[in-house]
Chain A
Amino acid sequence: MSENGLEVVREIEKVAHGIRRRVLQHTISNNGGYMSQACSAAELLSSLYVGILKFSAVGQPIDPPSFIGVPAVGPHTYQTGAQFHGEKRADLDRLISSPAHYALVIYAALIETGRLREDGLEHFNRDGSTVEMIGAEHSPGFETTTGSLAQALSQASGIALARKIRGESGRTWVFMSDGEFQEGQTYEALQAARFHGLSNLRVIVDVNRAQCDGPMDTVMNIEPLPDRIKAFGWEVSVIDGHDIAGILAASEKKTDVPHMILCYTDPVRGLPILANRAPVLHYLRFTSADERAQYEMAYQEMTK
């Protein structure tokens, strides 16, 4: 790897560490948070925001706007959270994040990459704020409403099709979670994206094998996931989702069909005490003062 490449990897490592640290800090101070998602997706999201996505800069980190209302028919001033991704331009990439409950992790990634103001998280889950617990299209880093899971891939496919019709060079990226491969719509989208030749569509998945009820293979098995996706005619890369160089290499793969990067991840990576909560890791809320103290110690370790 070139010196420049090594520098990018080091920057991604730093951002990934920052994501875990911020989400842990927030989880401790709020007695709750989607912590395992930060542990599993930190390298994936930091690689996207730092090394993969072709976004324009935003100048100063943006102060998250207050909620001004839902989208309405007719002229309105509704603004999506895509502003945190910079300019909307033919040659630039787009990122549609599907698992809206990763919002806290995405906000942390935006802060670490200078797109969201550091105090933006103070608005998290506060009444009247756009920094919602489950991101909607007004929330920083979101531009569609995907909290009812498995709808983003279809929406992004429509965006990718529009960009293909217009001959735009920018790619449309989708960040997905593995639980969404239990929904039928995902497979409808896979077949349609391939059928319509959306080679400008790129999907990256946090395969952390954990969902609300517990380990996925006890809730509803989705494996062999790579074979499933390949059977739909997609190009599939299977990688260790904490291997930054591997994520970057996969992202550069040239294909003439839609491409999916399956990042197999560890939902307690960087925070080993989280394993004590197994098998249910979906949401962390402390059950005792003692447990909270352990996480505070882990946080102190992380800030060293």
Chain B
Amino acid sequence: MSYEIVARPHQQNFIDWAKDKPEVLVLSADLTNSCEVGKWRDTYPDRFFSMGMAEQNMMGMAAGLAREGFEPWLHTFSVFLYRRPLDQLQMSIAYPALKVRLVGFLPGIMTPGGVTHQAIEDIAILRAIPNMTIFEVGDATEAQSVLDVAHDVQGPVYIRMLRGEVSRIFPVTEPFVFNRARVLSTGTDITLITSGIATEEALRAVPLLQARGVSVTHLHVSTLKPFTDPAVVAALKSAQAGVITMENHSIIGGLGSAVAEVMAENGISAPLQRIGLKDTYAHGASQKFLMAEYELDAAALVKRVEVAVGRKLDIDESELQEQRSINVHSSAKVEAL
């Protein structure tokens, strides 16, 4: 399977989108070009505010601007939006339910920057914060259409964003819809729920699984909080052999935990396997290397499906490689800072 590769999906799209929205401001913490808003700054210099490497103050100033009716869109790496300034995020922004948008780039193991740059528990922490809405985009279409969805939320929003060369998996005509999962395939053996970059990775394995006679319901989830989509409940109920979640995040507190909660609350009894970082920090290396090392890739998914259905499927690595879109994980895709 090969997808169109969109270069810097956020860059021009965000400029065009913000044109008729004078209340939209950008606050940046010294990672402006790395977050694809350098051109935005040059286009709207009066609406761009450099906050320097000082995220705690950035949260407070964003809060003040939001109280006065502006809509600040904070751009930096995911990890810098919640770890150091967590108290400020909570007391200055989340408690008063202010319209601040936290656009976080390079979530999870997408950065070669190592443990200091890897947001592996961001969803877990932010899910526990009242008033927060959490989105994670899975392709270029979602990276572009999440803007309207976030804009409509009357409280703080955290977005796990994609940048650089991003696959377009979903048609432009099918934009991001609030709290609605995308049903990518339907079946009765396995219910597979994926988010973010895990969706593209899972899509490499699903056709091979189906070819081996495993029927799969595959949902892509892009709204992680709230997590109340009835389509998710229905999909979980249909799983006869088991449920598998797959995410670029710790298995604790993220998509896997959210699914476990929904299953428990709805009395859905099925074995649940969570693919994600198994309660471990990672280190600095390429995305492809880390996905293999920490068993976040298509091969890991195949193994979990084998466990669920109780038989070997004889899918080898070369078959999975053939499913990779041409540019993804090629040397050209190595993420810089």
Contacts and interface: CB of A to CB of B under 8 A. Distances in A.
The answer to whether A and B belong to the same complex is: yes
Interface of A: 70-75, 137, 143-148, 151-163, 165-166, 184-185, 188-189, 191-192, 195-196
A233 B275 CA distance: 52
B228 interface: no
Given A153-B60, A154-B58, 14 more contacts: A71-B97, A72-B155, A73-B97, A143-B67, A145-B95, A154-B63, A154-B64, A154-B92, A155-B60, A155-B63, A158-B60, A161-B49, A162-B70, A188-B52
A64 B131 CA distance: 26
Contact of B133 (A73, A137, A153, A161): A73
B92 to A, nearest CB: 5
B69 interface: yes
Given A151-B91, A161-B61, A163-B68, A144 B96 contact: yes
Contacts of A147: 91
A157 B66 CA distance: 12
B153 interface: yes
Contacts of B54: 188, 191-192
A86 B185 CA distance: 58
B154 A148 contact: no
B64 A191 contact: no
Contacts of B59: 154
Given A145-B91, A158-B68, A162-B69, A74 B154 contact: yes
A137 B60 contact: no
A154 B60 contact: yes
16 contacts: A71-B96, A73-B97, A73-B133, A144-B67, A145-B95, A148-B87, A154-B56, A156-B64, A157-B64, A158-B61, A159-B67, A162-B64, A162-B68, A185-B60, A189-B61, A195-B52
B321 interface: no
A192 B57 contact: yes
Given A71-B97, A148-B91, A163-B68, A158 B62 contact: yes
Interface string B77-102: 00000000001100110011100000
Given A71-B96, A195-B52, A158 B154 contact: no
A215 to B, nearest CB: 26
Given A144-B96, A145-B96, A154-B88, A159 B68 contact: yes
Nearest to A163: B68
Contact of B153 (A70, A73, A153, A165): A73
B51 interface: yes
Contacts of A74: 154-155
A154 B133 CA distance: 23
Q: Among B66, B92, B130, which residue has the most Cβ atoms of chain A within 10 A?
A: B92
Given A155-B63, A185-B60, A188-B57, A72 B97 contact: yes
B313 interface: no
A113 B333 CA distance: 65
A195 B54 CA distance: 13
Contacts, number: 110
Contacts of B131: 71-73
B208 interface: no
B132 to A, nearest CB: 9
Q: How large is the interface on B (under 10, 10 to 19, 20 to 34, 35 or more residues)?
A: 20 to 34
Nearest to A153: B60
Interface of A is mostly: helix
A171 to B, nearest CB: 14
Q: Among B65, B69, B131, B153, which residue has the most Cβ atoms of chain A within 10 A?
A: B65
Q: Among A143, A151, A155, A159, which residue has the most Cβ atoms of chain B within 10 A?
A: A155
A202 to B, nearest CB: 15
Q: Among B59, B62, B67, which residue has the most Cβ atoms of chain A within 10 A?
A: B67
B329 to A, nearest CB: 38
Contact of A191 (B52, B92, B133): B52
Interface string B125-149: 0000011010000000000000000
Contacts of A161: 49, 61, 64-65
Contacts of A191: 52, 54
Contacts of A192: 51-52, 54, 57, 61
Contacts of B155: 72-74
List the 6 shortest-distance A-B pairs measured between CB atoms, nearest first: A158-B64, A154-B60, A73-B155, A162-B68, A188-B57, A158-B61
Given A144-B96, A192-B57, A158 B52 contact: no
A56 B70 CA distance: 24
A42 B188 CA distance: 72
Nearest to B60: A154
Contacts of B56: 154, 184-185, 188
A146 B155 CA distance: 19
A73 B54 CA distance: 27
Given A73-B133, A73-B154, A151-B91, A157 B68 contact: no
Nearest to A189: B57
A155 B56 CA distance: 10
Q: Among A137, A159, A163, A188, which residue has the most Cβ atoms of chain B within 10 A?
A: A188
Contacts of A188: 52, 54, 56-57
Contacts of A154: 56-61, 63-64, 88, 92
A145 B89 CA distance: 12
Contacts of A189: 57, 60-61
A70 B60 contact: no
Contacts of A165: 46, 70
